[in-house]
Structure 1
């Protein structure tokens, strides 16, 4: 009888810790150090918004749009991202946005939960990366 009670207590104790591990709050991945890192990356890499905007506008509307609207939009997004970076650098120690450390700007989610560039609404959490790095899984298998 004592073994059954003891094993039941051990089982419920392990099950309770497993349940507690799964139930992390949604904002638990956003911490003060992540906010500081986001602030520094926004300040340092904000200038990447200009070539990224040029390339995106060229893909959407052609070369003229890329080198006119893309440049203007890129500089506007650069200064806005630098403003957010400075704001987060000054307030990285305090949970300012809805009592959390989440970014104060709204981003747009893309495939696979990755943040994507959207020229009309929102920023990604971190600046875009230039280069040949891809976050999408490409396959040589034929899709049916």
Structure 2
């Protein structure tokens, strides 16, 4: 009798652990609050797309392209990001994109998963950061 109870509890534990993996759906990290935060960030920081366009076009094609095409491309991307910001601000309470709260635009992140710029892609989920914060480690670390 004792052995049957222990084996039943063990089986219930294994089934409980096995089903825990499928409890959270893939879109569970996207919530109405994240959508509202994304909308506010897109509205406030969309202006950063202009210097980002200048920087990217200058590094790829040179100064003339950066200060002509880069300004135009950055301004177009700024208005695109502002449009998505207004859209998400108005509809933050409703799951609009494929019945989820995911952003309705494609990301610019590369295959590595790091935040990197790809001019042929879409918009990233949040605006780019023009600050001293870096996602890459450029300096060497000393060993003990």
Fold match, TM over 0.5? yes
In structure 2, the gaps of 5 or more residues are none
Cα distance, 1:16 vs. partner?
A: 2.9
Cα distance, 1:139 vs. partner?
A: 6.8
Q: Is the 8 A contact 1:94 1:101 kept in 2?
A: yes
What TM-score comes out, normalization by structure 2 length?
0.87
Higher helix share: 1
Cα distance, 1:131 vs. partner?
A: 1.9
Aligned residues: 140
- Equivalent-residue separation in structure 2 for 1:139 and 1:82 (angstroms): 36
- Equivalent-residue separation in structure 2 for 1:79 and 1:18 (angstroms): 47
Cα distance, 1:123 vs. partner?
A: 0.5
1:61 — aligned with what? 61
Q: Deviations over 1:105-142 (max 9, x none)?
A: 1113325423432223201000000122221345749x
Q: Deviations over 1:18-69 (max 9, x none)?
A: 2333222111111111111110100010001011111111111111111111
Question: How does 1:1-144 map onto structure 2 within 5 Å?
Answer: 2-23=1-22, 24-138=24-138, 140=140
- Equivalent-residue separation in structure 1 for 2:79 and 2:71 (angstroms): 12
Alignment CA distance shift 1:115-1:20 (3 Å): farther
Q: Is the 8 A contact 1:39 1:88 kept in 2?
A: yes
What TM-score comes out, normalization by structure 1 length?
0.87
3-state SS of paired residue (1:124):
coil
